[in-house]
Structure 1
Amino acid sequence: MPPRRRSGAAAPDHLTAENLETLAAAIAEGKRATVYLREAMPSLGLEAGASAKVISVQGNTVLIRPKGVDDELPFEAEELLMRRTPAPKPAPAAPAAPAVHQEIEPGPPPAPKTAAPKTPAAKTVATPQPAAAVPKPGAAPAKRTSKKVPAGVSVTIHAGADNDWSVTVAHGAKRPGKAVPVSPDAVERAVRELGEETAIEAVESIIVAARNLAAARVDELSRQLEDARKALEALGAVE
């Protein structure tokens, strides 16, 4: 049994390997998996702690769709959280200092004022301040460039009963695209390049069966053509 977590242990500040396994299992079962951003993304209008739907998990990379963003973005496990972090509580205000009442005893009467000699006013010279850096017009703030990691590609080869071959391609968990017709010899060359014996035997067995069927059809048509030619010659001899 895995060791139990201590109740007093602090929650990790990013997704762990165990979290990644849990998310991948939830997606495989068709369940919704949610994570949260550790840091804000001002370029997309996302705050720290914003929720995001998990699309797929590949190694340490998680493909997510943040709430309010119509795009799928790849994030590393260190950039995400399993649970939303609570907002920090404001510090309590310091208690106000008690008012101190001070009694002032009357003192001797003030001495008569004497006119002080005037001194020339000191001239103040303004020192030039360095000009603040003005941003260049048209300069846009740096945005986070999202590098999309392909979620995987599935290529399926279909062989019909009438020796018609086609290929469909599916990206990740999306539905396969439209079937594209291909020739049997192109499929045979492709599987031979792959070098996978099981695939080679399966494709060749279908192609050989189709060739034998076509050859038998040619023989049958040739026989029918010969019979028709003989019948035509017989009709010509009668005339």
Structure 2
Amino acid sequence: MSAPARRRAPRPGEALSAEDLATLEAGLAAGRRVTVYLREATPSLGLEAGASARVISVDGTTVTVSPKGIDDQLPYEADELRLSKDAPQPARKATKVAPRTAAARPTTRPAVVPPVEAPRSETPVPEKSAPEKSVATPVLAPETSVKPTARPARRTKAQPAPVSVTVTSGPDDQWTVTVSHGAKKLAKPSDVTADRVLRAIRELGDDVASAAVEDKIEAARAAAVERVEALSRELDEARRALDRLKNE
């Protein structure tokens, strides 16, 4: 069995830094659309390297995105994303040249001693100069590069988005229920009656929520009673006016 492929570690400026993550969080907080790009392809999802993805949320170094063409939200690590579509060009390394040490030269010349006059029967012997010493040039060892340790393959299974159920009260004792999957609403708000809302809230066992719903329903009930009384008075007046017209 062959070993899993090793992913190349990002170069400086190629992956999201801590400053980049802070910029993304600020953009989301301001309500702007924030976009990042994939460093490497994901063949199982049909995503190529450099594919754009809209940022949904940032949690530490984990960035949840919605890639273009994928109707889902996927978590990625910061070193798997970058801000630009194209990868930055690697900087050229300067070639180091080993310095050469010139051979040492003698700083002084051998002294020349004038010949001493001697009897003609003897021949003067010339002095020999000291031989020059050579200095070896040092050889520098070549630089060795250390390969980065391969990280384990990223899980392609996406985490499910959170589901939220919102109950909203409107005018005239109208109540609606909205269901959302992440940032996407699954359907239009549906109307529900006040008694069903009160039963559902009481089943949850939340005293604060139950009290808020009961106050809202009680206020709507009081307004309805006042409305009925006002209509009853108007009806009585209309009947008396009709009786007067019949007697005339």
The two structures have a TM-score, normalised by structure 2, of 0.49
Which ranges in structure 2 are unaligned for 5 or more consecutive residues?
Answer: 1-10, 92-154, 238-248
Equivalent position of 2:166 in the other structure: 155
| 2:87 aligned residue | 85
Contact 2:14 2:88 (C-alpha < 8 Å) held by counterparts: no
Q: Closer, same or farther in 2 for the Cα pair 1:225/1:26, shift >3 Å?
A: closer
Per-residue CA deviation, residues 56-110 of structure 1 (Å, 9 max, x unaligned), is 115254332334x243341221552224534679xxxxxxxxxxxxxxxxxxxxx
Q: CA deviation at 1:31?
A: 2.9
CA distance in structure 2 between the aligned counterparts of 1:73 and 1:65, rounded to whole angstroms: 5
User: Is the alpha carbon distance of 1:17 and 1:86 closer, same or farther for their aligned partners in structure 2, counting shifts above 3 Å?
Assistant: closer
Counterpart Cα distance in 2 of 1:74 and 1:221: 58
User: Are 1:168 and 2:170 an aligned pair?
Assistant: no
- Tell me the distance in 1 between the aligned counterparts of 2:162 and 2:17: 21
Secondary structure, counterpart of 2:173 in structure 1: coil
Q: Kindly report which structure 2 residues correspond to 1:10-21, keeping only aligned pairs within 5 A, or say none.
A: 11=12, 14-21=15-22
The one-letter amino acid paired with 2:160 is V
Question: Which amino acid letter does the alignment assign opposite residue 177 of structure 2?
Answer: V
Q: What CA distance in whole angstroms lies between the structure 1 residues aligned with 2:21 and 2:162?
A: 16
Contact 1:24 1:56 in 2 (8 A): no
* Contact 2:75 2:159 (C-alpha < 8 Å) held by counterparts: no
1:114-168 per-position Cα deviation (integer Å, ceiling 9, x unaligned): xxxxxxxxxxxxxxxxxxxxxxxxxxxxxx85424315636141232x2222222
Could you say which residue in structure 1 is the equivalent of 2:39?
A: 38
Matched, 1:185 2:195: yes
Contact 2:39 2:82 in 1 (8 A): no
Partner of 1:207: 217
CA contact (8 A) 1:165 1:184 kept: yes
Contact 1:27 1:33 in 2 (8 A): yes
Q: Which residue of 1 aligns with 2:54?
A: 54
Q: Percent identity?
A: 41
Larger radius of gyration: 2
Superposition pairs of residues 91-106 of structure 1, within 5 angstroms: none
Runs of at least 5 residues in structure 1 that lack an aligned partner in the other structure? 1-9, 90-143, 228-239
Q: Per-residue CA shift, 1:189-210, capped at 9, x if unaligned?
A: 344426262x444322221122
CA–CA distance in 2 between the matches of 1:205 and 1:167? 19
1:24-45: CA deviation from partner (whole Å, max 9, x where unpaired): 2213324332323233222344
CA separation in 2, counterparts of 1:216 and 1:17? Answer: 61
Q: Secondary structure at the match of 1:19?
A: helix
Counterpart AA for 1:26? G
Letter in 2 for 1:157: T
TM-score when normalising by structure 1: 0.50
Name 2:75's counterpart in structure 1: 75
Change (3 A) 1:220 1:154: closer
